[in-house]
Amino acid sequence: MRRLIATTLMLLGLAPVAQTQAQDTFRFTAIPDEDQTRLVERFQKVADYLADTLDVDVEYVPVKSYSAAVSAFRNDQVQLAWFGGLSGVQARRLVPGSQALAQGVEDAAFHSYFIANADTGIAADQDQLPESFEGHSFTFGAKTSTSGRLMPEYYLRERFGEAPEALFSRVGFSGDHTRTIALVESGTYDVGAVNYSVWNAAVEAGRVDTDKVHVVWETPAYPDYQWTIRGDVDARFGDGFTDRVRQALLGMTDPDLLESFPRQGFIPVSNDAYAPIETVGEDLGLLR
């Protein structure tokens, strides 16, 4: 096994990549959709797995924001990224030839949860967003999160016919799903939108007091997270490298690795699968 480079630089967003570093180091990042400590633990395991499977040096480069992940990909500071639906579309637009390689089994039909603080008295509704949402305070996740902002805003506008700023007394952006749950549980915000997978994992781990915060509505399904690779990696790492990375991701079957995502496994996907996300992003003015 070749040497695995582990990164610990996490200051001011993206860790800078020195120009003198070896050109055969394969770097990847991931959108910071959860607590950073859990992300580092999760993706260091992925780095170990990829290094063993691909027989190249692999480095996980943590970032502080969704936009930093896209910028790292655009600037070739990383060659692979675990993106959400919208951030993946953004990155592929900026780097022609880039490909979506694999998504989690669950990502073909992903969901967002709308959650509410128990003191609001908002009851769960299986059919539609509760009308009693109006006038409450509301927090999205990150500004370019598919499950924490894009699709929740789409369904809010569809249900109420107006922008969130007109619907709610106050609108915020927590930055990540873990933070959204904490803010709604504490009552800092009355209502929020969160990635269903992060919510379910947090509940199962006992990190959520469901007497204080609960799910009130689940969105219809949409495509979300995926691994995206730059279109120039074969030129840098050898012919067929893209296919080797795809097969490595599809072959990620270790339950310990999959549980950290959490995903049942990974399946092939193409750029075309995210056309609905691109359309919604353009309609909401989140893609230029």
Please name which of 68, 100, 63, 83 lies closest in space to residue 229, comparing C-alpha atoms.
Answer: 100
Architecture of the domain defined by 25-107+223-283: 3-Layer(aba) Sandwich (3.40)
Residue type at position 245: V
State the pLDDT at residue 120: 97
State the pLDDT at residue 8: 36
Residue 12 has pLDDT above 70, yes or no: no
Domain ranges of the chain: 25-107+223-283, 111-218
pLDDT (tens digit per residue) in 86-101: 999 999 999 999 999 9
- Between CA 74 and CA 63 the distance in angstroms is 14
Rounded (5°) CA angle 260-52-68: 55
Farthest CA pair distance, the chain? 59
238 three-state secondary structure: coil
pLDDT band at 82 (very low <50, low <70, confident <90, very high): very high
Architecture of the domain defined by 111-218: 3-Layer(aba) Sandwich (3.40)
pLDDT (tens digit per residue) in 116-131: 999 999 999 989 999 9
Q: Do 25-107+223-283 and 111-218 come out as alike in CATH topology?
A: yes
Rounded (5°) CA angle 159-196-221: 55
Residues 91/68, Cβ–Cβ less than 8 Å: no
In terms of C-beta density within 10 A (0-12 exposed, 13-18 middle, 19 or more buried), how is residue 24 classed? Answer: exposed
